[in-house]
């Protein structure tokens, strides 16, 4: 077996022999090409690979990029049209009840009761969130919804990470790099995370109670 393999002609030699036989009765002859050694073809294969990679980059320059804050689209919560939101802010009816708020959301009249969150301790993440909401003309009802929503999502821990999805931080941003639009310290600063989360909620659902209603209905927001 070993000797047969050693003496067996290659495919290129067999093809060349067949061409020579076909041209034997004609005035034409097969051109003799220089025989290249295996190591001599390596630069050629390297050139082909380099050109192919360059062409892929030209056709789709972002095909190999990872998700980053600079390449992500950020929703314009101030300039967005109503069609881009879930519209929960306009369909909700909120009434005060003893110890909390009765909230009815949407055409399906989904109702829920949200406990009043109460005044947060000064200097905490919740205190910062309340101040931010008040500056955006939201009331105690929306703050209570936000407290309940983020207690469910992260228990207000700025280092909370979802093991299955990778969502991160108090608002559970997915991916975490989205929050970089509010500051480079988005992994360690709860205030940066809260600013991003509240703006996201306003742009997507109109209000924290709208986001909470969506979360109650579908399990995510």
**160 and 109 co-located in one domain:** yes
**88 and 192 co-located in one domain:** yes
**96 and 181 co-located in one domain:** yes
Residue 160 has pLDDT above 50, yes or no: yes
**106 and 139 co-located in one domain:** yes
**52 and 109 co-located in one domain:** no
For 204-219, how does the pLDDT look when each residue is reduced to its tens digit (9 = 90+)? Answer: 988 998 899 888 888 8
> What residues make up the domain containing 187?
82-218
Residue 197 has pLDDT above 70, yes or no: yes
CB atoms within 10 A of CB 162: 12
pLDDT of residue 156: 97
pLDDT of residue 49: 57
**133 and 187 co-located in one domain:** yes
Strands (E), 31-185: 93-97, 100-105, 110-115
DSSP annotation of 148: H
Query: In whole angstroms, what is the distance from residue 59 CA to residue 187 CA?
Result: 34
Residue 78 has pLDDT above 70, yes or no: no
pLDDT of residue 5: 45
Give residue 10's pLDDT band: very low, low, confident or very high (50, 70, 90).
Answer: low
**The token pair that represents 72 in the structure block:** 């992500």
Q: Does 66 reside within a domain?
A: no
**The token pair that represents 207 in the structure block:** 């209000």
Give residue 126's pLDDT band: very low, low, confident or very high (50, 70, 90).
Answer: very high
Residue 76 has pLDDT above 70, yes or no: no
Q: Does 65 reside within a domain?
A: no
Work out the mean pLDDT of the chain and round it to a whole number: 75
Q: Does 50 reside within a domain?
A: yes
Q: Does 104 reside within a domain?
A: yes
Q: Does 5 reside within a domain?
A: no
Q: Does 174 reside within a domain?
A: yes
**31 and 110 co-located in one domain:** no
For 84-123, how does the pLDDT look when each residue is reduced to its tens digit (9 = 90+)? Answer: 345 566 677 777 777 877 777 776 556 788 889 989 999 9
The number of folded domains in the chain is 2
Judge whether 208 and 142 are in contact, CB under 8 Å: yes
**Beta bridge partners of residue 4, listed in sequence order:** none
Q: Does 97 reside within a domain?
A: yes
Judge whether 172 and 154 are in contact, CB under 8 Å: yes
Name the phi and psi angles at 168, rounded to 5.
-140, 150
At how many degrees (to 10) do helices 208-218 and 190-205 cross? 80
Element (H, E) at 167: none
Residue 74 has pLDDT above 50, yes or no: no
DSSP annotation of 27: S
**42 and 138 co-located in one domain:** no
pLDDT of residue 92: 74
**Which pTM does this prediction carry?**
0.58
Give residue 166's pLDDT band: very low, low, confident or very high (50, 70, 90).
Answer: very high
**The token pair that represents 9 in the structure block:** 């002609």
For 17-68, how does the pLDDT look when each residue is reduced to its tens digit (9 = 90+)? Answer: 776 777 677 776 666 655 555 555 556 656 665 655 544 443 333 333 333 3
Judge whether 210 and 89 are in contact, CB under 8 Å: yes
pLDDT of residue 81: 39
Query: In whole angstroms, what is the distance from residue 127 CA to residue 133 CA?
Result: 10
């Amino acid at each position: 077996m070993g000797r047969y393999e050693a003496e067996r002609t290659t495919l290129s030699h067999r093809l060349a022999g067949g061409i020579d036989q076909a041209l034997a009765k004609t005035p034409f002859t097969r051109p003799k090409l220089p025989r290249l050694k295996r190591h001599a073809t390596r630069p050629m294969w390297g050139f082909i690979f380099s050109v192919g990679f360059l062409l892929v980059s030209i056709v789709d320059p972002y095909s190999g990029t990872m998700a980053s804050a600079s390449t992500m689209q950020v929703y314009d919560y101030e300039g967005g049209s109503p069609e881009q939101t879930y519209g929960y802010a306009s369909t909700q009816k909120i009434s005060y009840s003893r110890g909390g708020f009765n909230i009815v959301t949407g055409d399906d009249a989904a109702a829920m009761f949200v406990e009043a969150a109460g005044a947060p301790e000064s200097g905490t993440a919740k205190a910062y969130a309340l101040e931010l909401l008040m500056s955006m003309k939201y009331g105690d009802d929306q703050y209570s919804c936000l407290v309940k929503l983020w207690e469910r999502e992260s228990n207000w821990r700025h280092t909370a990470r979802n093991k299955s999805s990778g969502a991160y931080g108090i608002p559970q941003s997915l991916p975490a790099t989205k929050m970089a639009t509010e500051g480079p310290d988005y992994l360690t600063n709860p205030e940066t995370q809260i600013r991003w989360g509240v703006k996201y909620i306003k742009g997507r659902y109109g209000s924290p109670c709208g986001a909470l209603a969506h979360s109650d209905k579908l399990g995510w927001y």
